[in-house]
Structure 1
Amino acid sequence: MLVSRSQATRMAASFRTILYLVSAACIIAFLIEQTTDMPISFPPWFGSRTPWKEVVAAKTNRDMAKIPKAWVLHADVIEDARDRRQIAGEFFDSLLDEESRRITAMDASELLQNLAEAQLSAVQVTIAFSKRAAYVHQITNILLEIGFDLALEQAQDLDLYFAKHNRLIGPLHGLPVTLKDQFHIKGLETSAAYVGWIGTFEGKRGTGKEKVFESELIRELKFLGAVPIGKANITCNGHMGEGAMQALRGSVFGFGTDIGGSVSMPASYQGVFSLKPSAGRISFKGGAQIVNKSCLLL
């Protein structure tokens, strides 16, 4: 069939209009489905997928299942905490048993001294901080990945090393740490707060790296004896989760990345200190690429 140039132009314009209208209708239907309870049926070519709210709910439930039942706070306690202007200090400490409160009140140097003198074990320290971090998470919802079970296994290995060699394995022996959910830890997922990254390796499925690959920083921290217990939430690539974690002493210290205040601002909001070393001083090799050329922060 032969058509003139003007007819071809009109046909192309009509096709584009139809395509735009169909695309707009699909987008509107998608938004309605995701923001309301109204079920929408999509054509097969639109693709099958699990609604994002279900994906998020499933991940949230998986995280909560990692918290021992003995550490689950009563709903009344959580509601009371969320109604308070301030939860750090007396209120939060009152939730803990005396032993956990005593251990988590120590700074890094005190903990290391007690560990070196066998006054505390790595398991004791890990359990105390994991319990505190579990309380922090239930009140503030700041952990994207919980690794208490993996941390306990590592702490047990550290205690075996100490019993055999009568010395600490490294300068961070037995210190529980948390990190921004941008660093890969073997056995844990890295979503970087992206719904589309849940169940993937940086958004890609079937790579074989899921929950297996480990970032260089994690390898170095473990080599020095540190015990990662979880990964904190991200707000616009900032560290609001880690800031709250440190304010409530859920770990001894935390790691993140920074370009223009992603760590220093949350720290200032929470009344804690942050340290930004020179770019490249601490390795970002193997970290999930959310924003190019992020500079590591402590």
Structure 2
Amino acid sequence: MLGLPCNHSMETSATFFLVGIPGLQSSHLWLAISLSAMYIIALVGNTLLVTIIWTDSTLREPMYCFLCVLAAVDIVMVSSVVPKMVSIFSSGGGSISFNACFTQMYFVHVATAMETGLLLIMAFDRYVAICKPLHYKQILTPQIILGMGVTVTIRAVIFMTPLSWMVSHLPFCGSNMVLHSYCEHIAVAKLACTDPKPSSLYSLIGSSIIVGADVVFIAASYNLILCEVFGLSSKNAQLKALSTCGSHMSVMALYYLPGIASIYVAWLGQDIVPLHIQVLLADLYLIIPPALNPIIYGLRTKQIWERIWSLLMN
């Protein structure tokens, strides 16, 4: 078993070793192929969304601004973890330096914190558009849009910076084998020579507050939207709105359910849920939503689909 010098300062030459998904080594090649396919879909889809929204002057409504930022965050999220995962699963290249590990940890968790905030903003945008259509432009002014975006970013940075600092300043003097496919902070903190509970407890409480509050407000927004939709006289309008809301809520469920499960399962430990299930849950909520978001939020939006079609035809 590899070891690290017991030292409170991180040595740039020292490394961790990511083992991938413990217990599923025989499936690593298939996982590498699957991850590569999802990464390509996520990268192409989100890059296409950012390019079209950024360059098309007609797509300046709040919904498209939020969608553009969400796509950019998704690119950062998957690019922070998937290339290294594919390297681990395809060739066993799990070595990662301290600095790279904690940088990956920081970007992953800032991106996830921003993602949940953006999903809340987009749910609020749909609520205003459907329930308050006559006041849409008065409510979602450019100043309000910018303020919400800045607030989501600041919230993510303020929450994640202390957590990353706490974990990076733990003393590591035992094994450097991280039983995970990326530098997930609890998996890394468990390797410390001291009790990692302060950072783990901070993560649990902070994540519960942020995600819990966002989920409650998202649920409230869609509940109000559904009440408004069922009050429409046109059946076609009802079905169209229900189809849109249903697809949005499906993507959110794929993000929040594995994410929430991952947070609490990691805290409870391997005695409750097998380790490979813990790692798979943590991987899925970082990879599947970024691959589906461009399809659900982008291709199902008429204006964006028309721009993509015209771009492909030219």
Q: Same fold (TM over 0.5)?
A: no
Relative contact order (C-alpha < 8 Å, sep 6+): which is higher? 2
The TM-score with structure 1 as length reference comes to 0.30
Larger Rg: 1
